[in-house]
Chains A and B, each alone.
Chain A
Amino acid sequence: MTAHGTDEAAPAATTGAKPVTATRHLLAWVAGIGVLSVLPWLAVNDYHRFLLDLILINVILAVGLNIVKGFAGQVTVGHIALMAIGAYTSAILATKFGFPFWLALPSAVLVTALAGAIVGIPSFRLEGAYLALATLGLAESVRIFISANDYLGASIGITDIPPPSLFGLRLDTHLSYYYVVMPLALAGVYFSFCILRSNTGRAFKALREDPLAAAAAGINVQKYKTLAFVLSAVYAGCAGSLAAHMTPGFIHPNSYMLAEMVTLLLMVILGGIGHIWGGIIGAIVVTIVYDLTRDYYNYQMLVFGMVIVLTVMYMPTGIGGIIDRYIVTRRFVALRKAKGDAA
């Protein structure tokens, strides 16, 4: 496991450093799971547990966006609409068809994945700002469709979406819901690591850098573009469903507007676009900073906008990139020191 999706096995093979072992991977995951399992008990109050739930949902969302935007390089502004589709599918299935959460969630994920494939279609022909505009148009039409459709609660919203229940126990507290969200977030992060370190992740990066060269190297560009959109939609659908069933179980089209999309983009950009940890770091930092600045609501959007611009201008690799550089520098210094000692 590495910091930036590049490979460590290679220098190990050539420089004779210790090879990566499966035990150490396992240890890292066990430690991570351990920390995450006790985290809500360390929280001071229920509000922080609520924030933890929110952070983890945002992590799922941002990790998904990072796959399509950061790795595959597709400039999409439609991710928030995919979340809306996940949330509404799950909510409708639960409230109108009596689906339990455990069935509504995977159904919502499936429907959103399908929608993701559709959102991805313009990417075959469009790039950059044009693709952004096309996906923005799709996203807005989803929201307008919802707000004009009585069956979907129109501009009233959907109320009383039931929380998940387990063996007759309603998971409607922030603490119990954490144990629904956390494993899903963890699984999402694990899968994203696997995907991004496999040939699929390399194909994504290759088509981001140069679609023509990628095609000449035997990569089916359309297939991988669609795959990136579908994968990210799976994350968005899962996050949407989780947000819908979280107490008090209410969703409304106002939660899926451009401002939310900007916040989401900020997570990925600030965290480190195309960095394997980018979405995770970004979601954590942005959700917490957003909460800390809640009292300064008059300036919040202004500050967030400025942070995006400044990050893009002066810190294009985001926090993840800075951590990488720190690690690389440290490794370099250590190497030089070792050489110096030898001499």
Chain B
Amino acid sequence: MTIGTGAGLRAAVSIALLGAGLAAQPAAAQDKTIRVGITLRMLVESGIAYGDIAKTVMESVNAKGGINGAKVEVILLDDECKPDKGVANVNRFIHQNKVHLILGSTCSSVTMPIADITAKEQVPQIVPMSTNTSITQKGSEWIFRVSVSERFYAGAYGKYLGENVGKKIAYLYTTDGAGIAFVKQLQDYMKEHYKAEPVYQVQMQETDLDFRSHLLKIKSTNPEILAIAGQSDALARQAQQSFEVGIPKRVWRVAASSAGNVTYPKLAGEAAVGTTFTQAFNCADERPIAKQFVAMVKEKYKFSCPDHDFSQAWDAAQIALVALGKANLKLTDAALADDRRAIRDAIATIRYEGLAGGPIEFCAAPTPQCRDGNRTAMLVQYTKGGENFETKVVGRVSFDKDFGLGK
């Protein structure tokens, strides 16, 4: 072996150790601090706002002397909707930051692997935004969902549409995960409850721009409802082109929940009017708590009509605060596992009313019945498109705990 390898190897090892040493510094855990890790998708403007809302709500208690005298420290990280990033964030929260509680994440594809980790490492996790039904079905004692599960959303669409609009539905959707789930569950519901088959259905690529040939065929089937799904920009094109090919206004445009994203009415313009979708919250909500919240978001984050991801970030943080207040925490390094368990047990007793359309309620059993806390879905419709869009609530459906679990 020559000088070359020696230096190379030494350099590699010392760089590695230096890196580990640097990373070790923030690990020092302070006593009498409640540490909370939040991981969300924060790539876009609204995503950054969600993270900021959750962090601000949690840390606001520090100005009033903290929770039972303990300071709340929030570590906020971006997972970019990528599972590997989310997993790294949560590993860091648990092993390095030694957090007591985790909030996350936005995308179901990140929340699922994280849920496996929190179950294994025994750290309570509050899910603010993910909707995939299977998240709460794995029997983890440590997971609590604030967002509305897809099983309720699908039921809300199916129930409301079947009872009030019609059963002849044409489907046009792209390959995005939430969109596919929306279509599948709506179809299943219509089949199960009304024996209604889709009059037309086609799946397109996320990158497709022109849906008109399919929309023309859909027009000829004369449906009562046009169900569209995809990321909000694809959705906007679908809505616009549905008017271009002359599908009449009386046909209900029903969209996956991504229609609630503020970019949808912006891009779709007047074509957004009439689009109906499900949300856990609506910015036209008249309750004082909601009005106050909308005003705050408008002033601080410049979003005139916050969608339900704003409200869910807020609700999740509030629930976390309630639980931290209820739990009897020792806040020493040795008692970390006990404290985590105490927080878990505290969340399981919560019944909370906040921005969500109905109460959020948890219980102790590690089942979807207990851990899908929010069982109220709202059907919201655009009444005005464009930059200053407006919406109204056309229906509000609450379900019982067992709904959609196939028993």
What is A's interface to B at a CB cutoff of 8 Å? 1-4, 8, 20, 24-25, 27-28, 31-32, 35, 39, 42-48, 50-51, 54-55, 144, 147-148, 154-157, 159-160, 172, 174, 243, 247-252, 254-255, 257, 259, 277, 280-281, 284-285, 288-289, 291-292, 294-295, 297-298, 320, 323-324, 326-327, 330-331
Contact = CB atoms under 8 A, between A and B. Distances in A.
A291 B109 contact: no
Contact of A250 (B16, B42, B112): B112
A261 to B, nearest CB: 13
Contact of B15 (A51, A288, A326): A288
A288 B175 contact: no
Given A155-B175, A157-B109, A159-B116, A54 B83 contact: no
Given A174-B91, A254-B109, A289-B19, 20 more contacts: A8-B4, A42-B20, A45-B27, A46-B95, A55-B16, A147-B206, A148-B175, A148-B205, A156-B177, A157-B109, A247-B116, A248-B113, A254-B80, A254-B82, A259-B80, A291-B23, A292-B19, A292-B23, A295-B75, A297-B42
B91 to A, nearest CB: 5
A255 B85 CA distance: 8
Given A4-B4, A155-B109, A147 B175 contact: yes
A35 B133 CA distance: 46
5 contacts: A20-B2, A48-B20, A280-B12, A326-B7, A327-B4
Contacts of A259: 80
B180 interface: yes
A154 B175 contact: yes
Interface string B1-18: 111111111011101110
Contacts of A174: 91
Contacts of B117: 247-248
B335 to A, nearest CB: 17
A159 B135 CA distance: 11
Contacts, number: 177
A95 to B, nearest CB: 14
Contact of A3 (B4, B48, B109, B132): B4
> Which of B84, B117, B176, B205 is the most central at the interface, judged by chain A CB atoms within 10 Å of its CB?
B84
Q: Contact size class for B?
A: 35 or more
Interface in B330-350: none
Contacts of B4: 1-4, 8, 324, 327
Nearest to A334: B3
B63 interface: no
> Which of B16, B80, B116 is the most central at the interface, judged by chain A CB atoms within 10 Å of its CB?
B16
Contacts of B113: 157, 159, 248-250
A305 to B, nearest CB: 15
A270 to B, nearest CB: 12
Contacts of B180: 154-155
A174 B117 CA distance: 12
**DSSP majority for the B interface?**
helix
Contact of B132 (A4, A43, A156): A156
A295 B77 contact: yes
Sort A-B residue pairs by CB-CB distance and give the 6 closest, nearest first. A3-B4, A155-B177, A288-B19, A297-B78, A248-B116, A250-B113
B298 interface: no
Contacts of B6: 28
A155 B8 contact: no
Nearest to B207: A144
Contact of B24 (A4, A48, A147, A157): A48
B96 A284 contact: no
Interface of B: 1-9, 11-13, 15-17, 19-20, 22-24, 27, 42, 48, 75, 77-78, 80-84, 87-89, 91-92, 94-96, 107-109, 112-114, 116-117, 120, 132, 134, 175-177, 180-181, 203, 205-206
> Which of A44, A259, A281 is the most central at the interface, judged by chain B CB atoms within 10 Å of its CB?
A44
A3 B5 contact: yes
Contacts of B92: 47, 291, 294
B7 A3 contact: yes
A252 B111 CA distance: 12
Contacts of B107: 254
A248 B1 contact: no
Nearest to B6: A28
A159 B112 contact: yes
Given A250-B112, A323-B7, A323-B8, A27 B1 contact: yes
A255 B83 contact: yes
A43 B91 CA distance: 14
Nearest to A49: B95
Contacts of B203: 148
A298 B48 contact: yes
Given A248-B120, A284-B19, A50 B88 contact: yes
Contacts of A323: 7-8, 11
Contact of A251 (B83, B88, B116, B120): B83
Contacts of B23: 47-48, 51, 288, 291-292
B20 A284 contact: no
A254 B43 CA distance: 14
B196 to A, nearest CB: 23
Contacts of B120: 172, 247-248
A298 B94 CA distance: 22
Contact of B109 (A156, A285, A295): A156
A324 B78 CA distance: 37
Given A157-B112, A291-B23, A327-B7, A255 B84 contact: yes
B86 to A, nearest CB: 9
Contact of A35 (B13, B94, B134, B176): B13
Contact of B95 (A4, A31, A45, A330): A45
B83 A250 contact: yes
Contacts of B83: 157, 250-252, 254-255
Contact of B8 (A157, A277, A288): A277
B9 A31 contact: yes
Contacts of A48: 20, 23-24, 95-96
> Which of B8, B16, B19, B92 is the most central at the interface, judged by chain A CB atoms within 10 Å of its CB?
B8
Contacts of B15: 281, 284-285, 288
A34 B359 CA distance: 58
Given A35-B13, A155-B175, A255-B82, A294 B3 contact: no
Given A3-B7, A157-B112, A323-B7, A243 B78 contact: no
Contacts of A144: 175, 205-206
A154 B5 contact: no
